């Protein structure tokens, strides 16, 4: 498998357009497939995860009527299958490595008038729990099943659904989205209650598609609907991909980098608050993009960092960036702690142990906790080797560690970065000096 070396650099500078948002791309394809009529998706992310979603929805009856590459994305024209029109003939759905597809799609399928589908994927997806979506769907009247331990393959049979009120036991935008999509097909109202807000891309896009989404405090409600009409989506740059560059420019002294067109929805940008407390230098010029998602240009300069504590309320809006918080901690002078993040153990890898073991092997003073980690910053990292462990974000974390380290880092199995960001290594080469 691929082994890539990342040597120390003298600075990070220039400009970069972040690749399109993965979460929003998944939702655009799924809500597009659920819609009647054509949907134009500008800048659909070209990556392994989102390719799996496009393939799944076309198998389920959506039709791709145009595709034109643009940057790291593709401008697509999709003709939906309709809210109750999923093709019952498509019995096997391969979700690949895409947890978001695995958890959101069943919301649509569970309410279909007919059909039975099996959702399965690669080796790592078979370790990602699906009982978290099966439980609320069953309460709505769905026929769903899964393997022992709450794991995929997951079988979904179309059924008549009724609305429920569901309090999320774990903060999860995937579970919230799944229940809301099923709610569109259910009799009556469906309400999801969340203690801490998770990303709200589904709510924003559903409104654009004509659904009446009511939010009040931590409650999100939808009602059963006859049809969904998403007509266009402009996918902004992915904050979670841009975050790697925000961190690179922060920890490599002398850096200054501009990131263009990044989605800055506050349910995603917890890293910025954490970085600010640590002494980071990040400025944003924000505007509202087409489709209701906030978009911004971000200017980052290198900064000397101190410690901070990150607790439960900040976890959902920083969930995919917590490995980067650990890396920032290694380059800080002071102590960084993260708690309330046990969900990290259920990501593409057990991200508490892969991050802790990976960074420790590079010279970090980091300790594992059941729900997070503590790191004593020493202002830098020696270097060495790190295995991506089948996790795209770990592969990219290793690359950053390398360019800011004293001796460089070899990332084993680096290829997996293509799950969310196939152009990552090229983009990085373009901004390092």
Give the residue numbers marked as catalytic: 320
In the bound state with ligand S3P, the residue whose beta carbon lies nearer, of 21 and 387, is 21
Q: How far is the CB of 13 from ligand S3P (least distance, A)?
A: 29
320 binds ligand S3P (CB under 6 A): yes
In the bound state with ligand S3P, the residue whose beta carbon lies nearer, of 122 and 376, is 122
50 binds ligand S3P (CB under 6 A): no
* Sequence-ordered list of residues with C-beta below 8 angstroms from that of 172, at least 6 positions apart, any chain: 103, 132, 198, 343
Q: How far is the CB of 199 from ligand S3P (least distance, A)?
A: 6
- In 239-371 the beta strands, taken as DSSP E runs, fall at 256-263, 281-288, 294-301, 308-310, 333-338, 365-369
| Tokens read off for 319 | 């969930």
Q: How far is the CB of 346 from ligand S3P (least distance, A)?
A: 7
* Sequence-ordered list of residues with C-beta below 8 angstroms from that of 381, at least 6 positions apart, any chain: 330, 331, 359, 362, 363, 364, 401, 404, 405, 406
Among 230, 302, 319, 425, binds ligand S3P (CB under 6 A): 319
321 binds ligand S3P (CB under 6 A): no
CA dihedral 257, 260, 265, 266 (to 10 degrees): 20
Nearest to 267 by CA among 210, 350, 323, 202: 202
In the bound state with ligand S3P, the residue whose beta carbon lies nearer, of 319 and 411, is 319
Among 9, 86, 173, 388, binds ligand S3P (CB under 6 A): 173
Please name the residue that has the structure tokens 């769907």.
Answer: 137
Please name the residue that has the structure tokens 């200017």.
Answer: 299
Q: How far apart are CA 86 and CA 190, in angstroms?
A: 21
In the bound state with ligand S3P, the residue whose beta carbon lies nearer, of 59 and 320, is 320
325 alpha-carbon distance from chain centroid: 16
- Binding to ligand S3P by CB under 6 A, coded x per residue (else -) over 178-207, reads --------------------xx--------
Q: How far is the CB of 348 from ligand S3P (least distance, A)?
A: 8
CB-based burial, 149-172: b 16+ in 10 Å, e otherwise: eeebbbbbbbbebebbebebeebb
- Binding to ligand S3P by CB under 6 A, coded x per residue (else -) over 73-112, reads ---------------------------x------------
Burial label for 178, CB within 10 Å (0-12, 13-18, 19+), is: buried
In the bound state with ligand S3P, the residue whose beta carbon lies nearer, of 102 and 140, is 102
Cis-peptide into 160, omega within 30 deg? no
Please give the size of the binding site for ligand S3P, defined by CB under 6 A.
Answer: 10
Q: How far is the CB of 330 from ligand S3P (least distance, A)?
A: 22
Among 74, 112, 124, 172, binds ligand S3P (CB under 6 A): 172
In the bound state with ligand S3P, the residue whose beta carbon lies nearer, of 251 and 319, is 319
Q: How far is the CB of 176 from ligand S3P (least distance, A)?
A: 7
In the bound state with ligand S3P, the residue whose beta carbon lies nearer, of 13 and 241, is 241
Q: How far is the CB of 53 from ligand S3P (least distance, A)?
A: 11
**For residues 10-49, which are near ligand S3P according to CB under 6 A?**
23
* Sequence-ordered list of residues with C-beta below 8 angstroms from that of 136, at least 6 positions apart, any chain: 164, 166, 175, 178, 179, 182
Binding segment toward ligand S3P, per CB under 6 A, in 30-38, 53-61, 62-70, 172-180: 172-180
- Alpha-carbon distance values, 128 to 100, 178, 188, 383 (Å): 10, 15, 31, 31
Binding segment toward ligand S3P, per CB under 6 A, in 86-94, 167-175, 180-188, 294-302: 167-175
Q: How far apart are CA 224 and CA 187, in angstroms?
A: 6
Do residues 277 and 334 touch, judged by C-beta distance below 8 A? no
Q: How far is the CB of 207 from ligand S3P (least distance, A)?
A: 17
In the bound state with ligand S3P, the residue whose beta carbon lies nearer, of 209 and 305, is 209
154 alpha-carbon distance from chain centroid: 21
Binding segment toward ligand S3P, per CB under 6 A, in 49-57, 166-174, 218-226, 353-361: 166-174
Do residues 33 and 275 touch, judged by C-beta distance below 8 A? no
- Alpha-carbon distance values, 404 to 262, 399, 401 (Å): 23, 9, 5
* Count, residues in the chain: 433
Q: How far is the CB of 76 from ligand S3P (least distance, A)?
A: 18
Among 124, 174, 308, 405, binds ligand S3P (CB under 6 A): 174
Contacts with ligand S3P by CB under 6 A lie at 23, 100, 172-174, 177, 198-199, 319-320
């Amino acid at each position: 498998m691929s082994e890539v070396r990342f040597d120390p650099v003298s600075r990070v500078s220039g400009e970069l357009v972040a690749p399109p948002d993965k979460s929003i791309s998944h939702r655009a394809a799924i809500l597009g497939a659920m819609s009647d009529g054509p949907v134009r998706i500008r800048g659909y992310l070209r990556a392994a995860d989102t390719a799996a979603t496009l393939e799944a929805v076309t198998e389920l009856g959506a039709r791709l009527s145009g595709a034109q590459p643009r940057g790291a994305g593709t401008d697509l024209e999709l003709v939906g299958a309709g809210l109750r029109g999923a093709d019952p003939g498509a019995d096997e759905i391969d979700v690949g490595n895409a947890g978001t597809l695995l958890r959101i799609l069943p919301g649509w399928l569970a309410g279909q008038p007919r059909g039975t589908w099996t959702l399965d994927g690669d080796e790592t997806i078979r370790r990602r729990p699906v009982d978290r979506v099966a439980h609320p769907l069953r309460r709505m009247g769905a026929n769903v099943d899964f393997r022992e331990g709450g794991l995929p393959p997951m079988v979904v049979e179309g059924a008549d659904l009724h609305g429920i009120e569901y309090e999320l036991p774990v903060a999860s935008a995937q579970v919230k989205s799944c229940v809301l999509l099923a709610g569109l097909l259910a009799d009556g109202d469906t309400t999801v209650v969340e203690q801490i807000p998770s990303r709200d891309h589904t709510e924003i896009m559903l409104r654009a598609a004509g659904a009446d989404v009511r939010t009040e405090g931590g409650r999100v409600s939808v009602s059963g609907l006859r049809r969904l009409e998403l007509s266009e989506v402009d996918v902004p740059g992915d904050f979670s991909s841009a975050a790697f560059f925000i961190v690179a420019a922060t920890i490599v002294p002398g850096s200054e980098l501009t990131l263009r067109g990044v989605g800055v929805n506050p349910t995603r940008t917890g890293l910025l608050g954490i970085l600010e407390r640590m002494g980071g230098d990040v400025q944003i010029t924000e505007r509202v993009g087409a489709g209701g998602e906030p978009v911004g240009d971000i200017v980052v300069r290198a900064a000397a960092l101190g410690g901070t504590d990150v607790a439960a309320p900040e976890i959902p809006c920083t969930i995919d960036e917590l490995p980067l918080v650990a890396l920032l901690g290694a380059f800080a002078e002071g102590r960084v702690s993260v708690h309330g993040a046990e969900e990290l153990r259920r990501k593409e890898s057990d991200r508490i142990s892969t991050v802790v073991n990976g960074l420790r092997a590079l010279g970090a003073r980091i300790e594992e906790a059941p729900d997070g980690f503590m790191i004593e910053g020493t202002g830098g990292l020696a270097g060495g080797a790190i295995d991506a462990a089948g996790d795209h974000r770990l592969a990219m974390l290793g690359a950053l560690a390398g360019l800011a380290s004293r001796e460089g880092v070899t990332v084993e199995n680096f290829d997996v970065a293509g799950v969310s960001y196939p152009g990552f290594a090229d983009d990085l080469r373009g901004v390092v000096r």
